Structure 1
Amino acid sequence: MGRGAISAGAVAALVLVAGCKAVAVDPEGGPSGDDGKPRSTATPTRTPTEASPRTPARSPAQNPTRTPARDPAPHTPAPAPEPGKTLMEKGDDGKQVRELQARLRQIAWFGGNPTGTYGPVTAAAVKGFQAKRGLAVTGVTDTVTWSRLLGMTREPTRSELYAGGGMPPAKPDKRCLTGRVLCIAKSSRTLTWMIDGRAVSTMDVRFGSQYTPTREGTFSVYWKSRHHVSTLYDTPMPYAMFFSGGQAVHFSSDFAARGYAGGSHGCVNVRDEKKIASLFAQVRKGDRVVIYK
């Protein structure tokens, strides 16, 4: 073995000393690189003192690339809607109030029958309607409320306007203008007691049903019966004034209780007992009865 040569055993010993990683060995006894200088090919392991210190996380204020979160703007409630010009309010009465009540009744905001009087019940109904639709809640019917209500309802019929009665009497038939006449108009559901063309009293009436209609025409009172009871239906017919067969003008407790929800068997039912009691006392046998549309 010449000078400078290393035996195979020596090489093996060097490998064991180096550990698991094999390295190239310079004939002079150390690792060498391409330039022939001694160099280790193993990756050096950093000691704790050599490790680069970590850069601490920056706060939003220290980081120029991030914008700090802003507090949300305070919530400003929407302003209350302005009411319009007043059209109707508590204490008013008349046709327009009746129409208001009938329209509110169409959409279930007014439970009773229209009366034409703007009272607490009507004001409460208007308030409910206004609150439901985000209007100024005043209980007063202004132009804004009225316009909204018109857009949601239809024009009330005459029967809707006077569902509880009180309908103005229709124009008297010409047959009612002379003598003593029970002038009965189906269109207005009224009976007007007239003497020589002058209206003495007017009252609400109800007529027969579709299958038992009240006859129309000119008749005369042929029999009066103060405490009459129907022999056909076994029902009371107080203050009965018969004018055609079994048909009569009489007081009806059912009409007084249920209104126009019911109907008669052809008779002319009167709702107001005091009014028909007074009428019964004035009417004579032979007085005319005129029933017209």
Structure 2
Amino acid sequence: MVIGTGSLTASCVLVGPPVQAASCTNQTGPYQKQVEKFLGRPADSRQSAADCKAVQSFQSAHGITPASGFAGPLTWRTMDTILQQRAAGRTPNRAGKCPTDKGRIACLDLTRQLSWVQDGAKLVYGPVPVRTGRDGAETRTGTKKIHQRSISHWSTIYKVWMPYSRFFDGGQAFHSTTKSAPPGSGGCVNMRPADAKAYWNLLKNGDDVYAYGRKPGT
């Protein structure tokens, strides 16, 4: 039985507080048509005032700066990740990339910025959106194990609280966050509070973690 869904919606990429919109641009971006189509705007590849406001709103909600309404690479990359997350549906391991012969395992797809917990081939929780390491501080791939749990961890490096931390590769951990960190974390796997709490209850020391893929932009 799936005990958690972490349903993926139009704002399923993990985000933080909205950013303040910049002055609206009248420039047509290189991903104008794709962005217009994603937002349900007329896909005519021409920037309009209404297009700009729609793009600005999306950028602000997803921590993309400057939120000027320009349909650039980062905006489209974020939208494309959302589309891939939606396509995952209830079968995130359709391609069979996460091992099914290890029992309880936390799967982490860096490309789609998705994570889920499965037991063999059975989906237990998720898939849920996550935010992994930024360029130069990538979340490391491969087979790992949970080696430390700290329900209220304080990072001496970043000077922030990391609730529900489950460390799986040195200092890299799944943990809760409510702060914006575009374009990514310092290597940890940032999760929404409810998802991080669910992972805390599901993953014990010694449980497997498998990370694969490559975060867009790294």
Among 151, 170, 187, which residue is 1:226 paired with? 151
Partner of 2:202: 282
Aligned-residue offset at 1:100? 3.7
Paired with 1:188 and 1:285, the residues of 2 have a C-alpha distance of: 26
Aligned-residue offset at 1:99? 4.1
Partner of 1:215: 140
Tell me if the contact between 1:207 and 1:268 (Cα under 8 Å) persists in the aligned partners.
yes
Aligned-residue offset at 1:264? 1.1
Among 193, 197, 208, which residue is 2:117 paired with? 193
Q: Secondary structure at the match of 2:196?
A: helix
Q: Secondary structure at the match of 1:175?
A: coil
Partner of 1:268: 189
Partner of 1:101: 39
- List per-residue Cα deviations over 1:165-189 (Å, max 9, x = no partner): 9543463414245411110001110
Partner of 1:66: none
Partner of 1:246: 171
**Which of these two proteins has the greater Rg computed from alpha carbons?**
1
Task: For structure 2, list consecutive stretches of 5 or more residues without a partner in the other structure.
Answer: 1-9, 11-35, 60-71, 214-218
Structure 2 counterparts to residues 45-194 of structure 1, below 5 A = 99-101=37-39, 107=47, 108-110=52-54, 111-113=56-58, 159-162=78-81, 166-167=85-86, 168=88, 169=92, 171-176=95-100, 178-194=102-118
Paired with 2:194 and 2:189, the residues of 1 have a C-alpha distance of: 16
CA, structure 1 residues 104+253, in 2 after alignment: closer, same or farther (shift >3 Å)?
A: farther
TM-score for the superposition, normalised by structure 1:
0.46
Paired with 2:78 and 2:177, the residues of 1 have a C-alpha distance of: 20
Aligned-residue offset at 1:192? 0.8
Tell me if the contact between 1:208 and 1:266 (Cα under 8 Å) persists in the aligned partners.
yes
Paired with 1:112 and 1:199, the residues of 2 have a C-alpha distance of: 34
Paired with 1:263 and 1:160, the residues of 2 have a C-alpha distance of: 15
TM-score for the superposition, normalised by structure 2:
0.60
Identity within the alignment, %: 25
Paired with 2:178 and 2:139, the residues of 1 have a C-alpha distance of: 18
Partner of 2:160: 235
Paired with 2:100 and 2:76, the residues of 1 have a C-alpha distance of: 26
RMSD over equivalenced CA pairs, Å: 3.6
